[in-house]
Structures are given as C-alpha cells and as structure tokens.
Homo-oligomer: A and B are copies of this chain.
Amino acid sequence: DAIERSIRARVPPMLTDLYQFTMAYAYWNSGRHNEPAVFELFFRENPFGGGFSLFSGVHDCLLFLRNFRFTEEDVEYLRSVLPPTTNPAFFQFLRELDCSGVTLRAVPEATVVFARVPLMEVDGPLAVVQLLETSLLCLVNYASLVCSNAARFRLAAGPDRKLLELGLRRAQGPDGGLTASRYTHIGGFDMTSNVQAGFLFGIPVAGTMAHSYVTSFSSLEEVWPQTLLPADGEKDPIDLISLTKGLLGRLCELLGAEPAKIHEGELAAFLSYAIAYPGNFLPVIDSYSVSCSGLLNFCAVAMALIELGHQPRGVRLDSGDLCRQSVEVRRVFKHCAKQFSVPVFESLIIVGTNNISEQSMMELSKKENEINVVGVGTHLVTCTRQPSLGCVYKLVEVRGSPRMKFSEDPEKSTVPGKKAVYRLLDSEGHPLMDLLCLSEEPPPLAGQTLRCYPLGQEAHLAVTPTQVTCLRQEVFAKGQVRNWSWWMWELDSQLSRSRPGM
C-alpha cells in the first residue's frame, strides 16, 4: 500500500551510519556474521522532564524490516566508499541479505512506557541486526518523542478541547512534517492541517483561511458572484452583499461600533469565502483588528448566511491575548444570539492559534477563555523543550552469552543478557511496575509475592501483582509481520483510552 511504498522509498537500508557496514564486513571477514545476537532498544530518561513516554514508530519498523534489501546500485556505491582491499564476495553477501533471520519483539504502537525498559528486542544474525541499528533508531526516536509531546499537550488541554496539529511548515523537512502529523494524532490530537497526512494515514484534516486570503481583497467590487442560493432549495439567489451591509449597520448600532473602522477588504474576503463555502464559514478575524473590524464583519456575514438557511461555523484568532479575546468574542456571539434571535450563534466555535506551547496550553486550562479548538504547530512538532528522545540500541547477548558495555560515563553502562519484560498490574488494573528478568527465568505469577530490585537503588521491594502481562510481543519473524490483527486492536484500544470523550 501507499505507506509501505513510502517507507521503502524513504528508508532504504542505506539510510544508516557507515560504521554499520565497516563492522558488518569485519564480522563477515572473521566468519562471525551469522552468530546469533540480541540487541535491545531503550531510552535512558523520560522526555520533557516527565514520567512517561508513548513508544511509537513500530509499524514503520515492521515495514522497513519486510523491505530490507540492497539494490545493485546501493552495493556499487558501498564498493566505492569501503577500502579497496574489501573482499568482493562481501558485496555479493550484501546483495543477498534480507531480514528473514530476524525476530523483533516490541511493545505495541503508542504504549505508555518508561525509561531504561527494553522496548524492542532485535534477535538475529550478528551482521544483519547490527546493520539495522541506525534505521530502527531513526524510525522510533522522533515518532516516540512527538507522540509523547502530543500526549502531554492533550493532558494539558484536558479531554474536551479539540486539538489541531499544524506544524508542517516548521518540521524537519517534508518527512518530519508527515511523521509529526501521524504520531501527534496517535498521541491525542484530533486533526491535522497536513493534507498529505490525511491522504496517507486517514487523519481528519482541517483548515479554512490564512491572513493572505483576507489581505488579498481591498473592496467589495472584488466579490463575485455577489449572490447566494438559500439552503432550502429556493431558486432565487439572494444578493449577499446588500443583505450583509444591512445587518452590519444594525450590528454597529447595537454594539456601539464605528462603521468607519470596519475594513471593507476584510468584509469582501469574508463574503467571498462564505459564497464559496456557505457551510464552512470560519474566517480568521485578526488581520486588521478583532474588535473594530473582524468580529463585526464575521457576525454580519454569519447572520446573512443564517437568514439564507446556512450554518456558519465560527472564527479563528491568531494573535494577541487569545483568552481575553475569546471571552469578548463569545460575549458578542451571545448578545447577537439574543438580540437578533439567531440561536446558531450560541454554538459557534472559536479556534485559537498563536505559538502555543505546553506551558501556554496549561495556562489556557486555568484562565477564563472560550476557545474550543486549539491549533499547535512549532512547539508540538519541534518538541522545543527537548528536541530528541535519545533511544539507544545495545548489544546484550552473542551466541547465548551475555554482553555488557562499561563506559567512562557510568550511566552509559548497559544491563547484560536477553530479557523478558513483564508489566505488573494491581487489583484495579493499574500498572505497578515493569519487571525485567532474564528470558530463561520463570515468569512472575499473579498473586505471588516477588522480590524486586529497582534499577539504581540499593533496597529491594516485595510486590504482589494481581495481574501479569508480557509488555512485548513477537511482531516480526521469518521475514513476516506477525500478530498483526492483535496489533491493530491494541492500538485502537489504547487510542480510545487515551482520548476520552472525543
């Protein structure tokens, strides 16, 4: 399908660090390339100073593994960059390589996970699993980071506010933008502005107009056609300009506004857009002045639409104090609803977009405001507070023997051995802890008390789990994606849990 084609094109097996190839050759040259080896993927600290992460990008990893093959062109290039002494038979070996010998165990897409827990285990021939390192890290690092960031914005926003991702123009290039749209949706955003993300991943898309649309109009003469058909099927088109002008006069009187301050170009832009999309009218109202021009123009056009049986949707605010302005806008909407008997005005929505950060989202939840939809771009997709997650991929076993890295930095040392990872739950189904055992140890049993040794602590703990689950599942083996249906089910159920009421 389109996603798989896109992964094949975007993540060729050459998208990796050169040292993977120099190491693969050295393994091959010493006859060790097929020795069974186990790598673990994990991160050392939860991002954003927080207590959790959502692990993501697994689906892309599966597609990458399924399509892992070197072309003749790839191999020719490698021949040109590796030393001329390289045995030519190595390039034939690369040409025939695939992931049929690789087994991947991973936590399901978008699982809530914690630092230092091995989230993926890659088991297979030493040379192959080494070659996979950089590409797998690249696929999960940013996906997990931005998904976790989205979840934090969702937590800050509360369950009811709609969240719109609009970071494409500020992302790390085209694919950074696509990845952001995809994984912020998984992390709890409702919609994206990114059309290609809608096309590829089925994410709901949203958006109506920019300031340039408004400023491109300067007078009512630019509005064409000037008429609109009523929604009830009536055949006679109505002159929307005259109708709106009349309403605008009454509005100015009611609200004590100065007609001279109303920008005619803005009114022309709103009319023109309303005529094009009578059921999708949601203009940006701060191109000149919200209170002196944009809000009045919106109300007049919206009331004209309502008179013709259409349903306006709302407004967008993109500068200044969004909270204060939204309260003022809502007040005017309610006043109009009553004074002009337009109950539709009670349910208009207010969209806010202005460099929103997690911090300002939290403030939004505390301050009085009337914003229904928040659009977030830069801070969401660039993860300003911490722009990288820092997943690593470490060798833990070769030929059945554990492997460990020491280091000049003690925290960079690794925990050796092939492991099993269990999530222990309490009687209410809440997670108590993630338990790492050697894979050959017997699994913990529900109802039985365990002695555990928290990482980095001296003391041990006694824990009695009510329920024990395996955190990871075998999702790729013998060249095939496995447990696919389970996978999708798990993702859906997580999503419904993480986004109540939406």
Contacts and interface: CB of A to CB of B under 8 A. Distances in A.
A319 B139 contact: no
A168 B130 contact: no
Contact of A387 (B15, B224, B383): B383
A174 interface: yes
Per assembly, the copies of the chain total 2
A275 B86 CA distance: 11
A341 interface: no
A15 B178 contact: yes
B29 A138 contact: no
Contact of A30 (B179, B223, B388): B223
Contacts of A223: 30
A87 to B, nearest CB: 9
Contact of A287 (B32, B406, B409): B406
A176 B170 contact: no
A37 B83 CA distance: 54
A113 interface: no
Nearest to A205: B18
A88 interface: no
A291 B169 CA distance: 48
Contacts of A369: none
Contacts of A6: 9
A388 B14 CA distance: 28
Interface stretch (A193-201, A477-485, A486-494): A193-201
Given A142-B173, A212-B39, A287-B407, A207 B387 contact: no
Contacts of A18: 193-195, 198, 205-207
Interface of A: 6, 9-12, 14-23, 25-27, 29-32, 35, 37, 39, 74, 77-78, 81, 83, 85-86, 126, 130, 133-135, 137-139, 141-143, 146, 166, 168-180, 193-196, 198-199, 205-216, 218, 222-225, 272-273, 275-280, 286-290, 319-321, 325, 354, 378, 381-384, 387-391, 393-395, 398, 401, 403-409, 412
Given A9-B9, A142-B172, 15 more contacts: A16-B196, A18-B198, A19-B193, A19-B207, A138-B169, A142-B173, A172-B175, A173-B179, A212-B394, A216-B395, A218-B401, A288-B406, A319-B408, A382-B388, A384-B387
